[in-house]
Amino acid sequence: MATNSLMQMAGDMPMVGGAPMDPQKTIIENASAADNLTTLVAAVKAAGLAETLSGDGPFTVLVPTNAAFAKLPAGTVDDLLKPDNRDKLTKILTYHVVPANAGSEATMQMIEDDGGKHRAKTVEGEEITFAMDGDKIVVMDASGGTATVTEADVMVSNGVVHVIDTVLMPKL
């Protein structure tokens, strides 16, 4: 699939942020090894979600890279990591999680079956919308933002990860 074209492989394991993604490890165990996901890991820990995302799942997690977090207005990440903003951070992070195991092929089929856009309810409670932009999957959030899946189908023990280039924002 085209969205995997940027992903490197280490043997049978896809590489994300220079680290092999082990399908026997959880989302959090794999993300912790990736150099380009350090902001996400810090946010997950600050929100107290590490244990949840290490659970059985299945989860489909749209994982923003450090560069995605860097696109937010200056000071936003530091502000979100403050203990006083834990609820807001949790809302944003759980907005990136769908309680299902949806690989890219299944997602593309749902997009096609639904006439070009597929809505999915997140763990946070609001919906995100999946669509195609050429041969890439894009995800639209409640605030009008759009993220592109840059690395799809990173299989982990409790679901699947799709790396995205923009942080999705729920209605806050």
- The DSSP result for 60-76, as a single string, is EEEEE-HHHHHTSPTTH
DSSP-based three-state secondary structure for 92? helix
* Domains of the chain by start residue, with CATH: 2-6+19-164 (2.30.180.10)
In whole numbers, what is the pLDDT of the chain averaged over residues? 89
CB 127 within 8 A of CB 94: no
- Determine which of 10-24, 47-61, 68-82, 130-144 has the lowest per-residue pLDDT on average: 10-24
Cα–Cα distances in Å, from 168 out to 58, 78, 124? 20, 17, 12
Arithmetic mean of pLDDT, 68-85:
95
CB 137 within 8 A of CB 151: no
- What is the C-alpha to C-alpha distance for residues 51 and 69, in angstroms, rounded to an integer? 22
pLDDT (tens digit per residue) in 118-168:
999 999 999 999 999 999 999 999 989 999 999 999 898 888 999 999 999
Tell whether the model's pLDDT for residue 56 goes beyond 80.
yes
Q: By percentage, how much of the chain surpasses pLDDT 90?
A: 69
Tell me the sheet residues that pair with 137.
Answer: 132
pTM: 0.88
Q: pLDDT category, 52, cuts 50, 70, 90?
A: confident
- Determine which of 22-36, 48-62, 74-88, 156-170 has the lowest per-residue pLDDT on average: 22-36
Q: By percentage, how much of the chain surpasses pLDDT 70?
A: 91
More confident residue, 92 or 13: 92
